[in-house]
Chains A and B, each alone.
Chain A
Amino acid sequence: MENFFKEKTDEYKNLLAEYLEQQDEKALYGVELVSKALIKHNILPEEIINIHIKALKELDPNLFGAFEHSLEFLLEAMISYGLAHQEIQTLREQQIALKSEISVAAQMQKTLLKTKKPDVPGLDIGVISVPANQMNGDYYSFLQNADGTIGIAMADVIGKGVPAALCMSMIKYTLDSLPKESLPPPAVLHNLNRVVERNIESNMFITMMYAEYNPETSKLVYSFAGHEPGYFYRAAEDQFTEFSTSGLVLGVSEEVEFEQAEIEIDEGDMVVLLTDGVTECRDGDRFIEIDEVLDVIRQFTHLSAQEMVQEVYRYFERLQDFQLQDDFSLLILRKTV
Chain B
Amino acid sequence: MNPQSCVNINKEWDIVGARQLGREMAKEIGFSTVDQARIATAISELARNIYLYAEQGKISYEIIYNDSRAGLCLIAEDEGPGISDISQVMRDGFTTSGGLGAGLPGVKRLMDEFEVYSEVGKGTTIKTVKWLR
Contact = CB atoms under 8 A, between A and B. Distances in A.
A104 to B, nearest CB: 23
A58 to B, nearest CB: 15
Interface stretch (B8-16, B54-62, B103-111, B124-132): B103-111
B46 interface: no
Given A90-B92, A91-B93, A72 B33 contact: yes
B36 to A, nearest CB: 9
A9 to B, nearest CB: 13
A84 B33 CA distance: 20
A38 B70 CA distance: 28
Which bucket holds chain B's interface residue count?
10 to 19
A79 B41 contact: yes
Interface residues of A, number: 16
Contact of A83 (B33, B34, B109): B109
A83 B110 contact: yes
Chain A facing B: main interface SS: helix
Interface SS of chain B: helix
A10 interface: no
B106 A46 contact: no
A50 interface: yes
Tell which of B33, B34, B40, B93 has the most Cβ of chain A within 10 Å. B34
Given A53-B33, A76-B41, A79-B41, 8 more contacts: A46-B37, A50-B33, A76-B37, A79-B37, A83-B106, A84-B96, A87-B109, A90-B92
23 contacts: A46-B37, A46-B38, A50-B34, A53-B33, A72-B33, A75-B33, A76-B37, A76-B41, A79-B38, A79-B110, A80-B101, A80-B102, A83-B41, A83-B102, A83-B109, A84-B96, A84-B102, A86-B109, A87-B92, A87-B93, A90-B92, A91-B92, A94-B92
Interface of A: 46-47, 50, 53, 72, 75-76, 79-80, 83-84, 86-87, 90-91, 94
